[in-house]
A = this chain, B = another copy of it.
């Protein structure tokens, strides 16, 4: 299958591209290095340097023999999108090409505007390109569990039947997000659902929880193949960030009561979920939605787990409770269904102590590189 990975430079994009080639697919990646540019502007560095996409593609070719074709440019610009779709007309598009961070989207007006414009226009251009160049292609879109927020009812897999005053219909599950970034993902779903109905395109919208981890089957051979790994307040996901804080001796930053519960998954599972979705496409005219997570934890549970693993490794891990800079429920009901990907064949990699220990051991090698100033900046939502 010819698969185009948009946002191929990101934390998940590059590992996905390698994984898809290793599983027999022909792959191209596109990126404009927006995440790297924003990290530079905001003075936050990843834990270690990551070569650019052309260099990583060369390295991967040397190690594996597989090709990954690289397109560098801005997917909000139609002429670039057109060029890619003409040169590499895909059977499937994996769309990660969005500004991916909630805290960045809440930083200031410019960051909010960039997030809105970038995320919406890339999604729109992907839809228009499919319509024009490959109407039978399948769009695998990365959404987020954050689209649902934390409702007081069970979270279904994308859709809900509503009985109301004696009549009945099926609707998108209600969406109500906790950041502008997450809200742009709601808008993406609005847009995809509209064009699925109008143009009969095929779409899988993956409601993904926060991802953690570094290691995949494809990147064990060379650290230069590891993903771009942020541990700062802006771009670091919580488990990755807490592991770095543990190593740095920076007490784990729990916001408010710490009862915030989310559905998490290992980066290996992200790759499998995306591959399984691509290999089992949605029907024409179908918006298929999967909740992409394998287990749920509260922030308090995560902090205690990492503290416990630290103890075992002889690292003393502190936990501090901070006034919550975000506006969110700190204790809430959370019961998301997530059976669709299991039915497609997903075999979850759970968050064991061993998984955490291995990540911690790796981070310890980079301890001297950790910049404590970027761990917590108190970016306020309100």
Contact = CB atoms under 8 A, between A and B. Distances in A.
B183 A190 contact: yes
A167 B197 CA distance: 31
Contacts of A354: none
Contact of A153 (B78, B164, B186, B333): B164
A162 interface: yes
A164 B164 CA distance: 11
Interface stretch (A168-176, A226-234, A270-278, A365-373): A168-176
A255 interface: no
A145 interface: no
Contacts of A120: 116, 120, 187
A277 to B, nearest CB: 23
B180 A168 contact: no
Contacts of A151: 169, 171
Given A128-B109, A171-B176, A176-B171, A154 B162 contact: no
A80 interface: no
A7 to B, nearest CB: 20
Interface string A143-175: 000000001111000001010110111011011
| Chain multiplicity (copies) | 2
A153 B165 contact: yes
**What class of interface size applies to chain A in its complex with B?**
35 or more
A327 B174 contact: no
A382 interface: yes
A206 interface: no
A194 B197 CA distance: 26
A64 interface: no
A167 B198 contact: no
Contact of A162 (B162, B167, B177, B333): B162
Contacts of A174: 162, 169, 171-172, 174
A190 B186 contact: yes
Contacts of A106: 198
7 closest A-B pairs by beta carbon, nearest first, are A171-B174, A152-B169, A153-B164, A187-B187, A153-B167, A183-B194, A109-B128
